[in-house]
Structure 1
Amino acid sequence: MASRTRRRGPAKGAPDGSRRRRVPMRLLLPSLVLVALMAMLMLRGYVHSEILADYRIRPAAANDKVPQEILKGGPVIDTRDGSASTLRVPDNSVVLTFDDGPDPEWTPKVLDALKRNEAHAVFFITGTMASRYPDLVQRMVDEGHEIGLHTFNHPDLSYQSKKRIDWELSQNQLALAGAVGIRSSLFRPPYSSKSVNMDNNSWPVTEYIGSRGYITIVNDTDSEDWRKPGVDQIIRNSTPKSGQGAIVLMHDSGGDRQQTVQALDKLIPQLKGKGYEFQNLTEALDAPSAHTEVTGLELWKGKAWVFLVDASDNITAILVVGLAAIGSLVIGRFGLMLLLSAVHARRTRRRDFVWGPNAPVTEPASVLVPAYNEAKCIESTVRSLMRSEYPIEIIVIDDGSSDGTARIVEGLGLPNVRVIRQLNAGKPAALNRGLANARYDLIVMMDGDTVFEPSTVRELVQPFADPRVGAVAGNAKVGNKDTLIGAWQHIEYVMGFNLDRRMYDVLQCMPTIPGAVGAFRRSALERVGGMSDDTLAEDTDITMAIHRDGWRVVYAEKARAWTEAPESVQQLWSQRYRWSYGTMQAIWKHRRALVDRGPSGRFGRVGLPLVSLFMVLAPLLAPLIDVFLIYGLVFGPTEKTILAWFGVLAIQAACAAYAFVLDRERLTPLISLPLQQILYRQLMYVVLLQSWITALTGGRLRWQKLRRKGGVSAPPTVPTQRRQVMDERPVR
């Protein structure tokens, strides 16, 4: 029940159907956020070679189709004009080349070694590394080194189509343009060796690369530093034969390159002592620079690319931290719930357990039933109260219903049932009106679509035997749980809400008295000013207010009420959207509870932080579990991802089973738990995200009436005990 506003019709003068159908903002914004997150993850996966990477390496093949001038030629191969020619580095010249970088750990050390020894080199960079570490590429250029391309993802190009080769080259150039604003005409294929090792698979690639304007650079001296053979062996492998020039292959990435760095500090001085010069390739060949300045759109595309890659890495790092946080919160919450729920169950089920010194409580109670257009449910609600074992009066407050709700109750002609009519003013106003007309000091509140068991009111008021108790939360259950969506809500109510309430009861910081079944002392309500319409979660608002006034709020698990849960996704969305947004409003309204002193400050010190963590922050971060699940399933590691997901599901299933046992519920609905985690939970994520967006943008959410079907006509079991309803009597 809630305050409502009329729906607006079509704009004046607008013909029917003239309005364009638009995507609802509640779907559009969360969808955009989800798409953005997935795009960032995809981009990160791409530049980390987790997506579209091809790790196949083709074995050596015959070389009968490779021209002899290539097989017997030098390591610089030029096929740009359709013919094949090679060049060698002049005698007494060494061109050091480094593949696979830049690496954040080893490239700076290699550059430091080259700087110490006043040597230049050629760095064949991959697009993935250059995109992630553009500052290192900039340092290479600033210190006079030459840059060559080494593809983007480092695949064996002999396996790739021409389209994929073009893509690797263009992406590599894009990263280079974004890093330092240049293009390069030098290219070294991954897994390449010497000219003599060119075969029938690699030669067509070399020809095609030349047709795209690139000079292919292989090597004629392999340091084999990737094998980590020792510093002395790397030096021996890298030393040219007497007086000859050489292009030396080394690596500044791909693993531990400590031996390479140490070898450079010995190799360069030794060879310089023999008269060698360490130059860039174009310097050694006395050729024009391989670098071309990039300007205009191409430059900005490169800069945008590098920016997005950096953003994706940063965002992913934040997401990983968020994933760790949500994992800790989920496991911590489950552990806390299991432990404290066991404590609560053991305490309340002891044979000698009593709620307080004034037990048992027998004084009459007033039951307030706010109702707005509850024609399909109200008779069942009132008749369930008439079966109560406890002395009560029933007050139905009709909040401007247009479906004859009040007439239905009056037509029943039941004793001790009063109907109060008012203009539509909202649920808080209806409850306050009922409170003003209640005869008794114990006030029970329920919804117009809820039915009580005969023992519900009696169980609900027993905690008032303790004079410190100001409010009591009952055990709300889903009455229409025969459908799949009803079963999912049933799991949520038993596992989430009621297990939570046990935990909060032990911690003495119950955050919410459910609107479907709750009880209050009149004095507690009056001291905090009654029900407030400041938030859309008036039940959470009043509970927090009562805590702050110094009262205790407890949970009576045996006070069961059966409520009609939404039966469509749209109705469920509307309800949970209001709950989520209202909870945020209540937390913000009572934020000063954090600094409250004395006994009333316990809620601020314990309850408010827990509610903020478990009910607002944790659900907001929880989608990260599913985002990384999808990413892991598609791009790996698939087995570990599946194992982790089933591990989380097993923890949830254990908690759910324990909650069902505590509530004496059949475990059958838990069969749908995996499906609930896949579908239902995602809906709740989007609802909470939309609530956050509404709150952050300063939006104002209105109450929305849920359409009832009257599916809960009676509790599942009705004890055959003597039923008692208070006769009409004057207020004492």
Structure 2
Amino acid sequence: MAPRTSRRRWLPLRYLLPVLVLVVMLAMLMLRGYVHSEILADFRVRPAVENDKVPVSILEGGPVIDTRGGKATTLRVPDHRIVLTFDDGPDPVWTPKVLDILKKHDAHAVFFITGTMASRYPDIVQRMVDEGHEVGLHTFNHPDLSYHSHKRIDWELSQNQLALAGAAGIRSSLFRPPYSSMSQNMDNASWPVTEYIGSRGYLTVVNDTDSEDWRRPGVDRIIRNATPKGGKGAIVLMHDSGGERHQTVEALDRFLPQMQQRGYQFKNLTEALDAPSGDIPVSGLELWKGKAWIWLVQASDDITGTLVVGLSVIGVLVLGRFGLMLALSGVHARRTRRRRFRWGPDAPVTEPVSVLVPAYNEAKCIENTVRSLMRSEHPIEVLVIDDGSTDGTARIVEAMGLPNVRVIRQLNAGKPAALNRGLANARHDLIVMMDGDTVFEPATVRELVQPFADPRVGAVAGNAKVGNKDTLIGAWQHIEYVMGFNLDRRMYDVLQCMPTIPGAVGAFRRSALERVGGMSDDTLAEDTDITMAIHRDGWRVVYAEKARAWTEAPESVQQLWSQRYRWSYGTMQAIWKHRRALFERGPSGRFGRVGLPLVSLFMVVAPLLAPLFDIFLIYGLVFGPTEKTIVAWFGVLAIQAVCAAYSFRLDREPLTPLISLPLQQILYRQLMYVVLLQSWITALTGGRLRWQKLRRNGGVSAPPGGSGERRPLANGISA
């Protein structure tokens, strides 16, 4: 109720921070997809191509191809020397086992790593270098380069070098193309790539002995395939990644000592050729760029893992909440709709009621509100507490000259102070509170106070409905009110831990209010604060579904943002204020250990994590598995649709607005997420938020008895 205060310095930052968090989360998922070969991966099989453009010296030459300087030459490994080469790693399971076997037998090898794997497992690459092995490039994403441009080849090489620099602080001049074989199998598609690779300063290393371990033909067959003939030297192709490599590890453990006994040495490539090492240390900017890359990749994996855990949590919360709502709301409806149902021994309640209407600049709405109260079927007095309005709100009410309507003026002090002022001037022991932009049906007050027939009841929540639901944003809020708020209230009623009496329509015993000190301005959600306080004082708080009130919901995104920002931040404040209830005994402890966790999970944690469904939907649509992703998302939507349809049936509402439910889930939920995230940021940074007045149009009316078509009378009031 306080006037709007402007803090323009902070608003842009607070709006940007939630968006920035979303962007970072999506960027981390994109990065993860990139380093897991879910983006730009290429696993095509190239058909046979002619080789008439490949020099004969290459086709008949050795497995080390040097096209640097524009000349094509080849090299072979000297006799009795074997260069073991391992492709596609490092693998977190099999590469360490391979390294253990090599270390056991004092053998060196060459590992042709992919950038994706090196980025994810940099410690294994560092171990390769530390133990004397050479590391060569095998591209970043393992594509067939013969299908790609020079620009893509350069990109694959540079990214591979970036990962290697970050993992081990080196760069390599050794390169093995994916899907390569022996020199004699070079063709017109792969040869231009080899020439270009040489022009970039790399030696291309293929093989002349293929163990075919990738086929998993058995240990003995792998050993026979890897054994060179007649004491010749060889570059042997093996794999330490790309699948189950148990046979490779076992074969290696037998192959190494067998060949060493026959006089073979196991060297890395440059050792075998008596040449300078192909691995060159890097420093300066190149090194730090590599380290930054590795850090980002590790962060993306950690964040993605956290998001997956969050997705699991939200899945459990959503299904648990829907299950509870469906089961307990049905229990509530059956209990309260029994033919002979009575709220308590003193039913029906007929004593008069004081209705408090706090108002700040409600000139457009206040006449509708007061006239709707004049049609009440229950005896009432109406107190309009004008909280320093500057638009003539008080004068409008006074000019109406209605009986049993009093106007109380005060300097602007906020909604809680206005309600306390009204309470002090109220003549009756039953107090109804409503907002100045809300209209009641004739039966609302009567239905709202009937639960006070039970002397244990201290407060009653009414059924707040959206009156201006003809727009898309209004329809979305209508779905939220019927499905979320009212199903929740039925559930919380059964569990006896109702968290909030809505400010639009609620009733209280005067004694309950006075025992907890009246309305407090400690939080921005005074309705949640007072409800929790009444629970802790030992009173029951219940939901009266027939006590319908029609409120004017925000009609713009900006207004909706302001309202929900206040609600979510105020709810967090109320939870924090009443946190001691977690450790107390009696009614306060029961509410603290049942109500506070449920409110925290369902109203704070679940909405904050809900967008993970949509983030992973986007991720799954782009990177796969697309079909399973779509099925899962529509499965969640179907569950929500069932709950929504059930809640609409309980409230006897037409199902037509549910047509917009899918769009609501895609767009509206994101807005609510950003609002909640902004509230978290405000809370964690110690920010303060003032009550903000929403602009109203004053066009809401209520159908008679809560059903049927509206019949507008003068000034927009319905009969």
User: Shorter-normalised TM-score: what interval?
Assistant: over 0.9
Q: Are residue 247 (structure 1) and residue 235 (structure 2) matched?
A: yes
Q: Are residue 65 (structure 1) and residue 53 (structure 2) matched?
A: yes
Per the alignment, residue 67 of structure 2 pairs with: 79
Gap change, CA 1:269 and 1:719, over 3 Å in 2: closer
Q: 1:353: Cα distance to partner?
A: 1.2
2:263 is matched with which residue: 262, 265, 275?
Answer: 275
Per the alignment, residue 45 of structure 1 pairs with: 33
Q: 1:56: Cα distance to partner?
A: 1.7
2:689 is matched with which residue: 701, 706, 717?
Answer: 701
Per the alignment, residue 276 of structure 2 pairs with: 288
Amino acid at match of 2:61: G
Give deviations 1:634-658, integer Å, cap 9, x for gaps: 2222211111111111111100000
Give deviations 1:682-728, integer Å, cap 9, x for gaps: 111111011111111100011111111011133355799xxxxxxxx
Q: 1:600: Cα distance to partner?
A: 3.0
* DSSP-derived class of the 1:56 partner: coil
Amino acid at match of 1:257: R
Q: Distance in 2 between matches of 1:225 and 1:59?
A: 23
Runs ≥4 in structure 1, deviation > 3 angstroms? 5-9, 713-720
Q: Are residue 590 (structure 1) and residue 578 (structure 2) matched?
A: yes
Q: Distance in 1 between matches of 2:617 and 2:5?
A: 43
Q: Are residue 143 (structure 1) and residue 142 (structure 2) matched?
A: no
Per the alignment, residue 178 of structure 1 pairs with: 166
2:508 is matched with which residue: 504, 520, 531?
Answer: 520
1:33 is matched with which residue: 16, 21, 24?
Answer: 21
Give deviations 1:237-278, integer Å, cap 9, x for gaps: 101012111100000000000000000111111111111111
8 Å CA contact 2:210–2:236 kept in 1: the answer is: yes
8 Å CA contact 1:473–1:519 kept in 2: the answer is: yes
Q: Distance in 2 between matches of 1:6 and 1:117?
A: 76
Give deviations 1:292-313, integer Å, cap 9, x for gaps: 1101100100111111111111
Per the alignment, residue 227 of structure 1 pairs with: 215
Q: Distance in 2 between matches of 1:274 and 1:381?
A: 101
Gap change, CA 1:257 and 1:691, over 3 Å in 2: same
Q: 1:54: Cα distance to partner?
A: 1.7
* DSSP-derived class of the 1:24 partner: helix
Q: Distance in 2 between matches of 1:245 and 1:75?
A: 11
8 Å CA contact 1:122–1:280 kept in 2: the answer is: yes
Amino acid at match of 1:27: Y
Equivalent runs, 1:387-466 vs 2, <5 Å: 387-466=375-454
1:615 is matched with which residue: 603, 625, 636?
Answer: 603
1:299 is matched with which residue: 284, 287, 308?
Answer: 287
Amino acid at match of 2:614: D
8 Å CA contact 2:442–2:704 kept in 1: the answer is: no
* DSSP-derived class of the 1:385 partner: helix
Q: Are residue 212 (structure 1) and residue 211 (structure 2) matched?
A: no
Gap change, CA 1:33 and 1:49, over 3 Å in 2: same
Q: 1:8: Cα distance to partner?
A: 8.7
Q: Are residue 656 (structure 1) and residue 655 (structure 2) matched?
A: no
8 Å CA contact 1:551–1:600 kept in 2: the answer is: no
Q: Are residue 688 (structure 1) and residue 676 (structure 2) matched?
A: yes
Q: 1:39: Cα distance to partner?
A: 1.0
* DSSP-derived class of the 1:395 partner: strand
Gap change, CA 1:578 and 1:718, over 3 Å in 2: closer
Q: Distance in 2 between matches of 1:661 and 1:252?
A: 60
Per the alignment, residue 16 of structure 1 pairs with: none
Q: Distance in 2 between matches of 1:536 and 1:365?
A: 27
Amino acid at match of 1:220: D
Give deviations 1:161-186, integer Å, cap 9, x for gaps: 10000000011111111111111111
2:662 is matched with which residue: 674, 680, 690?
Answer: 674
Per the alignment, residue 114 of structure 1 pairs with: 102
Amino acid at match of 1:639: E
Q: Are residue 160 (structure 1) and residue 159 (structure 2) matched?
A: no
1:196 is matched with which residue: 184, 195, 205?
Answer: 184
Q: Give the number of equivalent residue pairs.
A: 708
Gap change, CA 1:387 and 1:718, over 3 Å in 2: farther
Amino acid at match of 1:521: R
Per the alignment, residue 348 of structure 1 pairs with: 336
Equivalent runs, 1:5-24 vs 2, <5 Å: 5=4, 24=12
8 Å CA contact 1:127–1:175 kept in 2: the answer is: yes
Q: 1:282: Cα distance to partner?
A: 0.6
Give deviations 1:380-420, integer Å, cap 9, x for gaps: 11111111111111111111111111111111111111111
Per the alignment, residue 187 of structure 1 pairs with: 175
Q: 1:555: Cα distance to partner?
A: 0.4
Per the alignment, residue 101 of structure 1 pairs with: 89
CA RMSD across the alignment:
1.3
8 Å CA contact 1:446–1:518 kept in 2: the answer is: yes
Q: Distance in 2 between matches of 1:54 and 1:8?
A: 52
Q: Distance in 2 between matches of 1:94 and 1:476?
A: 81
Equivalent runs, 1:719-730 vs 2, <5 Å: none
8 Å CA contact 1:367–1:445 kept in 2: the answer is: yes
Q: Distance in 2 between matches of 1:146 and 1:269?
A: 21
Gap change, CA 1:719 and 1:622, over 3 Å in 2: closer
8 Å CA contact 1:479–1:715 kept in 2: the answer is: no
8 Å CA contact 1:451–1:715 kept in 2: the answer is: no
Gap change, CA 1:395 and 1:134, over 3 Å in 2: same
Amino acid at match of 1:128: T
Amino acid at match of 1:244: K
Per the alignment, residue 2 of structure 2 pairs with: 3
8 Å CA contact 1:75–1:220 kept in 2: the answer is: yes
8 Å CA contact 1:377–1:713 kept in 2: the answer is: no
* DSSP-derived class of the 1:470 partner: strand
Q: Distance in 2 between matches of 1:87 and 1:365?
A: 101
Amino acid at match of 1:385: L
Per the alignment, residue 723 of structure 1 pairs with: none
Q: Are residue 500 (structure 1) and residue 499 (structure 2) matched?
A: no
Amino acid at match of 1:129: M
Q: Are residue 133 (structure 1) and residue 121 (structure 2) matched?
A: yes
Q: 1:359: Cα distance to partner?
A: 1.2
Per the alignment, residue 385 of structure 1 pairs with: 373
8 Å CA contact 2:51–2:187 kept in 1: the answer is: yes
Q: Distance in 1 between matches of 2:35 and 2:593?
A: 45
Per the alignment, residue 600 of structure 1 pairs with: 588
Amino acid at match of 1:712: V
Equivalent runs, 1:524-535 vs 2, <5 Å: 524-535=512-523
Shifted more, 461-470 versus 597-606: the winner is: 597-606
8 Å CA contact 1:454–1:718 kept in 2: the answer is: no
Q: Are residue 558 (structure 1) and residue 556 (structure 2) matched?
A: no
Q: Distance in 2 between matches of 1:291 and 1:210?
A: 16
Q: Distance in 2 between matches of 1:719 and 1:126?
A: 67
Q: Distance in 2 between matches of 1:623 and 1:280?
A: 50
Give deviations 1:560-610, integer Å, cap 9, x for gaps: 000011111111111000000000000000011111201332211110000
Q: Distance in 2 between matches of 1:623 and 1:551?
A: 36
Gap change, CA 1:269 and 1:202, over 3 Å in 2: same
Q: Distance in 1 between matches of 2:706 and 2:291?
A: 72
8 Å CA contact 1:454–1:719 kept in 2: the answer is: no
Amino acid at match of 1:650: A
> Structure 1: where are the runs of 5+ without partners?
10-20, 721-732
8 Å CA contact 1:326–1:621 kept in 2: the answer is: yes
Q: Distance in 2 between matches of 1:467 and 1:544?
A: 18
Amino acid at match of 1:414: L
Q: Are residue 572 (structure 1) and residue 571 (structure 2) matched?
A: no
Q: Distance in 1 between matches of 2:704 and 2:114?
A: 67
Q: 1:27: Cα distance to partner?
A: 2.3
Shifted more, 508-517 versus 612-621: the winner is: 612-621
Q: Are residue 489 (structure 1) and residue 489 (structure 2) matched?
A: no
Per the alignment, residue 524 of structure 2 pairs with: 536
